[in-house]
Structure 1
């Protein structure tokens, strides 16, 4: 895992951050302050991640003493060694083909897939002026927030840092609060139809092996993510 230092590449920080933020933004509606806060939370995580991945390796500097003692001979200023989970668990292969990186790729892809498919369902419901209750919305009430959390967790598996590890539970809490505020607005808009939907479908974690409940349709623009 020896190699030349791979940091101070601020162009890559900007390019990678912009690509993932704009890609995520293409699948969400940015109409209200809640929508912007949702994307903003994800954007903060992505910028922090790529700053440490290509810009300044704060986590590696802070842990350099312990890492040096535990893994002598490893050049932690090389990009490959920055994949800390692969290094710490002793996978002596290219970290991009290690189990944690592969799992990371799967989670990131799954998260963006969920984000995209949820957006299509929500967009169709908006056009028809009804509550979105099909597709991913038949299993959880907030699939887009779930998608953001899955993507962030995937990035953590690939490149864990002290900053993003600290940010992750805070951002999950932020998404839960945003979801609750949206649910209050939806309840005011849809009334009993929303209550029936909320009783049948969980907010974030799908019920494995249990058939989905009734899917109410009620006039009005959908207001949940």
Structure 2
């Protein structure tokens, strides 16, 4: 937490460090290889840069909303770091935002997202080496666990520090991931035909069917997908 006598913004070193840490962390799990992989990873990286720029650099959202915020919440120092957690501020929750329910939920979602990315990459890497369809681990639950992992991480950050830019970017990126997933599936159907169609019938795209959690789909070959 930023000390009371320290600046809350203009900390561009923290912007750079935090952006690099999370981008490199995500890269180590996602391992982009194709042009499509790099496109999705670059979009996720842009989300992180926009987030940390407002969190530590320039609070664009605060400045744009300042007339409304000061009118409805007098006495709040909106240029302080704690007030930047807008969900807690506007709801009037009297708690240190770093230890509040939303922040804890945010942290859990971010960790869950990175764990999903790591597990998906491990299953995909093993399948690629064996030249088979990735059906182990999270690929037994959803067909595109890496995209799901990216979305979970972004949603976790939104709970912690919502901004106008990231709120706009979030649905755009979700739509982009859905589109990329559809393109990948068309390519996989063209390459594997009925074997991939059976996998599609057995495993949902993004939301697991809980009745399938104890089972796993047929082990059939497949191209790399997110």
* Alignment TM class, shorter chain as reference: over 0.9
How far 1:185 moved relative to its partner? 1.4
Partner of 1:92: 94
Task: Find the counterpart in structure 1 of residue 224 from structure 2.
Answer: 223
Q: Determine the structure 1 residue equivalent to 2:186.
A: 184
Contact residue 3 and residue 79 of structure 1 kept, 8 A = no
Contact 1:201/1:212 (<8 A) preserved: no
Equivalents in 1 of 2:159, 2:207: separation in Å? 20
1:30 shift after superposition:
1.8
How far apart, CA to CA, are the structure 2 residues paired with 1:174 and 1:212? Answer: 30
- Tell me the equivalent position of 2:32: 30
The TM-score normalised by the length of structure 2 is: 0.94
What secondary structure sits across from 2:211 in the alignment?
A: coil
Unaligned runs of 5+ in 1: none
Superposed CA deviations along residues 132-170 of structure 1, whole A, max 9, x for unmatched, are: 011111110000000000000000000000110011000
CA distance in 1, matches of 2:123, 2:41: 19
Match of 2:139 in 1: 137
Give CA deviations for 1:163-194 in whole Å, capped at 9, x if unaligned.
Answer: 10011000000000111111111112222111
Paired with 1:101 and 1:171, the residues of 2 have a C-alpha distance of: 22
Query: Alpha-carbon deviation of 1:212?
Result: 6.6
- Bigger mean CA deviation after superposition, 82-91 or 110-119: 82-91
Contact 2:15 2:52 in 1 (8 A): yes
Q: Which runs of 5+ in 2 are unaligned?
A: none
Q: In the comparison of the two structures, how many residue pairs are matched?
A: 224
Equivalent residues of 1:193, 1:217 under 8 A apart: no
- Structure 1 pair 2–31 and aligned structure 2 pair: CA distance change class (3 A): closer
Kept after mapping to 1: 8 A contact 2:124/2:224: no
Supply the distance in 1 between the matched residues of 2:70 and 2:103 (Cα, whole angstroms).
23
